[in-house]
Structures are given as structure tokens and as C-alpha cells.
Structure 1
Amino acid sequence: MINTNFFINILRFTLLVLVQVLVFNRLNFFGFINPMVYILFLYWYPIKENRATFIGLSFLLGLFIDFFSDTMAINAAATVTIAYLRPVIMNFVFGVNLEFQSFKLGNTTKVQQITFLALLIVVHHFVFFTLEIFSFTNLLLILKKALAIGLATLILCLLFSTLFSVKKE
């Protein structure tokens, strides 16, 4: 029998791709802000799962977004980068608590969760916009877009994560 985590991850993957492609790629706040909420898949993915599977799924997620957004594998490169760097970011944010067998993201503090999500978003957006603009002479434009779109993405991701979180009683 297949694990229920598998079905939950497939559902999250599919819904986040659809929401990103059908809703958020069409939004254009202030002429240049398009939030990238599909990063939530990389945030919500179980911590103790197979890392190679996670990186492969991250590549597929980015590739699907690229296919529908016509961005020539920039999303795939950015998602694979943060999937690869996720253990380092987690070790930085959660420290020694990450080594416990019973570690779960839901058992950490809100500050740690927000810091983890914010670091994923910052790294993703910096890689994405560096590859999109591909010129260090436009470093200020890269930083402007990464910070503005990163802030909008963080706010929407926090909103989605609070709306769709399972409440413990």
C-alpha cells in the first residue's frame, strides 16, 4: 500500500502548479510583482524523505512552471538550487534540533518557520532573477526584484500556510 504522504505531496504539487500558473502568473502588482507561491511545496515537503526524490520533484516542479510560464528552465534551476541547499538552510535555522528523530516543522517556533521560509524564498528569487537578468551590471535591479517579489511571496506563502495548516488540539 502506498503511503498517504505520497498522495498528499502529489496533491500539493498539482494544486500549487495550477494555482501558480492560472492565478499568480497573471497577477502583476505595481507592474512587476508576480508572487511565486509554488515554493510552498519545497517548504512543506517532509524533512526525513529521500533527498534524491525531493530534488527530482523540485526539478519537475520548476520545469512544469517553466513550461506554462515560458521562462526557459529558470524556475527549474532555482528550485533545484533551493532543494539542494535546503539541508544547509534547515541546519542554520533549526540547529541541533534537526538531528532528533521526532523533529517536525510544525513543532518549531513561528519565528523559525518564518525564517526558514524567508531564506528559501530569498535564495530562490536571487538565483531566479540573476539567471533572468544575467548581468551583474544590473545588480540593483536584481536585488529590487528579488526583495519586492520575495516580500510579496513571503506574505502570500504565510497566508496560505496559516489557511491550510492542520490545527492541533
Structure 2
Amino acid sequence: MKSSLGISNILQFILFVALQILLMDNLVLYSTGFCFIYVAFLLFLPLGINRLLLLFLGFLVGFTVDIFYDTMGIHAAASVLLAFLRPHVLNLLTPRDGYDINDAVNIHMMGKGWFLTYTFILLFVHHSAVFFLEKISFDDILFTLLKIVVSTLFTGVVVIILQLLFFSPKRTSRI
């Protein structure tokens, strides 16, 4: 019986959280573009992962970032929202032949259009939750929307670069 959470996923968790805390915290574009690379951990998980485990992992990765950023649960809430919506977005984007539940999300296997749609929908929702929870009001809504859009694009580009660099087209499935 294979585990739905393998060693490579645990290493990805450690890597993405460490990158977020050590590198991405200081990498901001003109006070509007923030890169939340830790969400790539949730985006790249296998398609058939248990939903309860997915919600727990969303909380765990968000809470870990909250501890280091001192943000009182903002990232945990946004990550749980992303984890909750991920299966619904996957259902919306299901190809005619369906998915192999052991596959992880991969730009080479799923195609560029599918991957971009999947990534940017979930990143937009996550970033909207982060920035609206941070502001807790609709004052300066235009600036908040600008931060959401720029940060979604920034994080999306970094996620695509990660996929192209570290996920080879030869791999057909990962666990």
C-alpha cells in the first residue's frame, strides 16, 4: 500500500517553507508584488490526496509561515481556503479521460493551458484571502486589488519557473 504523502512531498514542504522564510520575505516588487512560494507545495501535491489530509497540510504550511511572519493566522486561513478549493478547481478542469490519481500536478503532463488555469485561479483566491484578511477593510481597495494582481502574477511566474526547472517531462507520475 503506497502512502499518499511521500518523502519527496515532505522535502518539498521543507524546501518551499525555507525558501519563503529565508528568501521570499525580502523579495518584494515596489511594495506591491509579494511572492508566496510556499503555496507551490499545495499546488504540486498528488491529485488523489485525501481531502482531510490536504486541509491539514494547508493549515500546517500556512501556520508555519505565520509563525515566522508573525501574521496571526492569515496565511493559515488562506492556505486552508486554497486546500479546500483545490479539489473543486480540479473537478472543473477534469479532462475527458480523467486523472490518474497517483499523478502530481505537472505542467508537462497536464499541458500549459490546464496548468496556467489551475495555478492562477488558486493563486488569485489565496492572495485575495491574504491581502483582504491583512487589511480587514475595503479602504484602499484599488491598492489591495493591485497587490493581489501583481502578487498573483509574480508568484505564478515563479511557480511556472519551478515547474519547468525541476519537473522533467520524462516523469510520468510521482508519489
Using the size of structure 1 for normalisation, the TM-score is 0.90
Which moved further from structure 2: 85-94 or 54-63?
Answer: 85-94
Query: Aligned AA for 2:62?
Result: G
Q: CA deviation at 1:5?
A: 4.5
1:137 and 1:97 mapped to 2: Cα distance? 46
Q: CA deviation at 1:150?
A: 0.9
Which moved further from structure 2: 65-74 or 88-97?
Answer: 88-97
Tell me whether 1:130 sits opposite 2:132 in the alignment: yes
Check whether the contact 1:33–1:149 (CA below 8 A) recurs between aligned residues: yes
Secondary structure of the structure 1 residue equivalent to 2:29: coil
1:102 and 1:24 mapped to 2: Cα distance? 31
1:1-169 aligned at under 5 Å gives the runs: 3=3, 5-98=5-98, 100-101=99-100, 104=103, 105-106=105-106, 107-168=109-170
Query: Aligned AA for 1:44?
Result: F
Paired-residue identity, %? 32
2:88 and 2:4 mapped to 1: Cα distance? 27
1:102 and 1:36 mapped to 2: Cα distance? 26
Secondary structure of the structure 2 residue equivalent to 1:37: coil
2:22 and 2:45 mapped to 1: Cα distance? 22
Could you list the structure 1 runs, at least 4 aligned residues long, displaced by more than 6 angstroms after superposition: none
- For structure 2, the 5+ residue unaligned runs are none
Using the size of structure 2 for normalisation, the TM-score is 0.87
Which moved further from structure 2: 86-95 or 49-58?
Answer: 86-95
Q: CA deviation at 1:131?
A: 0.3
Count of residues in Structure 1 that have an aligned counterpart in Structure 2: 168
Secondary structure of the structure 1 residue equivalent to 2:139: helix
Q: CA deviation at 1:33?
A: 2.1
Query: Aligned AA for 2:123?
Result: I
Q: 1:110 to 1:136 in 2, by over 3 A?
A: same
Which moved further from structure 2: 69-78 or 104-113?
Answer: 104-113
Q: Which has the higher contact order (CA 8 A, sep 6+)?
A: 2
Query: Aligned AA for 1:81?
Result: L
Secondary structure of the structure 1 residue equivalent to 2:23: helix
Q: CA deviation at 1:141?
A: 2.1
